[in-house]
């Protein structure tokens, strides 16, 4: 599933074609994805101007001039691609329709945004912009890891006394929004913290050190266009490249890259997810 860097990469790719532009025609080719689409979705989107394109956790939010916000979740295999952009940001002509092109936005500026999702685990919803943060999918989310609210004090307080492993705690979207399996593994490696350590037993200084490390990992991933492991594509159809920089994720049995360590990357399963780490230098 795309994590924060992948979703932010898609948002940035869509922005030149969508922000300030009018949806000349919205086409909805099926009644649902993971959940049913909102009533009259195509009608409510057609003619609307996208005033702002933002991200909250792993969701893309398009604020419209009609007082509604389009919420988009890419799911496991969803991708949004742009073709025919008159601003010159993209070189692709409009492609022939594909089987899993479930939602299509033809913009007045000539761009076309296509949402393709073979597994149909993605989702879209329309909600009032004024109360968007109260939507059930957004209401309980913690602070954004790249925002000011995600501070050393916040993380130390959130983890104090918790008996869960640090890996599980950082995946808790109520503690910090948008972190997923890949980037938690990478951040814990850089911090030298084993994914099995109980969150509440890690010193405040080490917990605090995770904040800048998490931000650094996410920023580097965004700069690299995210990580393409299976289905992820950027908005121009290109792959992301951060997977070539993984220190631990997917590297089971390979040597640790930390200078002087000499250890071998291992893999364990925590809450049904693979955790990659170096038993030698992560304690």
pLDDT in tens, 188-229: 999 999 999 999 999 999 999 999 999 999 998 888 765 534
Mean pLDDT in residue range 144-152: 96
* Residue 9 vs residues 25, 26, 118, 228: alpha-carbon distances, Å: 25, 23, 20, 12
Closest CA to 122 of 100, 143, 140, 107: 100
CATH number of 152-277: 1.10.8.50
d(CA 137, CA 118): 22
Residues 279, 219, 90, CA angle at the centre, nearest 5°?
130
pLDDT at 230 over 50: no
CA distances from 121 to 36, 79, 102 (A): 11, 11, 12
Q: Point out the catalytic residue in the list 2, 5, 16, 145.
A: 2
Is 2 a catalytic site residue? yes
| Residue 132 DSSP label | G
Q: Which CATH class is domain 4-134?
A: alpha beta
Sketch the domain layout of the chain as residue ranges: 4-134, 152-277
pLDDT value of residue 268 = 97
List C-alpha distances in Å: 5 to 22, 132, 218, 243.
27, 22, 6, 12
pLDDT tens digit sequence for 81-135: 888 865 555 555 677 777 999 999 999 999 999 999 999 999 999 999 999 999 9
Marked catalytic residue, from 58, 79, 112, 233: 58
Q: For residue 15, indicate whether it is catalytic.
A: no
- Report the alpha-carbon distance of residue 73 to residue 218 in Å, rounded: 19
- Strands (E) across the chain are located at 23-28, 50-56, 59-64, 68-73, 79-83, 101-107, 112-116, 123-128, 266-270, 273-277
Q: The whole model's pTM is what?
A: 0.88
186 as an active site residue: the answer is no
Give the pLDDT of residue 241: 41
Output the pLDDT for position 90: 53
Residue 232 has pLDDT above 70, yes or no: no
Q: State yes or no: pLDDT of 57 exceeds 60.
A: yes
Share the mean pLDDT of the chain.
90
Q: What is the band of 262 on the pLDDT scale with cuts at 50, 70, 90?
A: very high
């Amino acid at each position: 599933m795309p994590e924060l860097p992948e979703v932010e990469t898609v948002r940035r790719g869509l922005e030149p074609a969508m922000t300030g532009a009018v949806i000349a025609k919205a086409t909805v080719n099926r009644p649902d994805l993971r959940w049913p689409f909102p009533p009259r979705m195509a009608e409510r989107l057609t003619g609307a101007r996208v005033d702002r394109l933002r991200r909250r956790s792993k969701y893309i939010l398009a604020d419209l001039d009609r007082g509604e916000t389009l919420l988009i979740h890419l799911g496991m295999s969803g991708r949004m691609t742009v073709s025919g952009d008159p601003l010159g940001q993209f070189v692709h002509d409009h492609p022939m329709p594909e089987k899993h092109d479930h939602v299509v936005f033809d913009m007045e500026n000539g761009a076309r945004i296509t949402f393709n999702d073979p597994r149909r685990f993605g989702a879209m919803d329309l909600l009032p912009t004024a109360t968007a943060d109260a939507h059930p999918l957004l209401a309980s989310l913690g602070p954004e890891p790249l925002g000011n609210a995600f501070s050393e004090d916040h993380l130390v307080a959130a983890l104090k006394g918790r008996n869960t492993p640090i890996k599980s705690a950082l995946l808790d979207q109520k503690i910090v929004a948008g972190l997923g399996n890949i980037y938690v593994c990478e951040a814990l490696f850089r911090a030298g913290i084993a994914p099995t350590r109980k969150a509440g037993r890690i010193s405040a200084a080490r917990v605090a050190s995770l904040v800048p490390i998490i931000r650094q990992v996410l920023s580097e991933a965004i700069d690299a266009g995210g990580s393409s492991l299976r289905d992820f594509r950027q908005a121009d159809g290109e792959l992301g490249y951060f997977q070539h920089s993984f220190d631990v994720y997917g590297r089971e049995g390979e040597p640790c890259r930390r200078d002087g360590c000499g250890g071998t990357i291992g893999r364990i399963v925590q809450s049904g997810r693979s955790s990659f780490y170096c038993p030698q230098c992560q304690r």
